[in-house]
Amino acid sequence: MNLYHGIALITTLCNLVLGISFIFLIDSLRANELMLQYFLLYLLTMAITVCLWKIGNDYDFNKKYGR
């Protein structure tokens, strides 16, 4: 596991915590009109995770096959 995969794992855990807390906070977020901001934060962490995972896979491929 390289650095990028480690960071992707950490952001995946953050994304999981955000998703679970979103379920429990949905009523208070709706009351305070923060649903959109929270959902965008969730999507941002998901996008960061996917990008880091892709970078990590490319890094491992290049390291393995010497590109």
Which residue in the block uniquely carries the two structure tokens 């390291």?
Answer: 63
pLDDT digits (tens, 9 = 90+) for 9-39: 999 998 899 888 888 888 888 888 888 888 8
- Of the pLDDT bands very low, low, confident and very high (cuts 50, 70, 90), residue 47 is very high
What is the residue range of 41's domain? 3-65
Comparing CA positions, the residue from 7, 5, 8, 38 lying closest to residue 20 is: 38
CB atoms within 10 A of CB 60: 14
Comparing CA positions, the residue from 48, 18, 47 lying closest to residue 34 is: 18
What's the domain count of the chain?
1
Dist CA 38 CA 46 (whole Å): 12
Local structure of 34: helix, strand or coil: coil
pTM above 0.85, yes or no: no
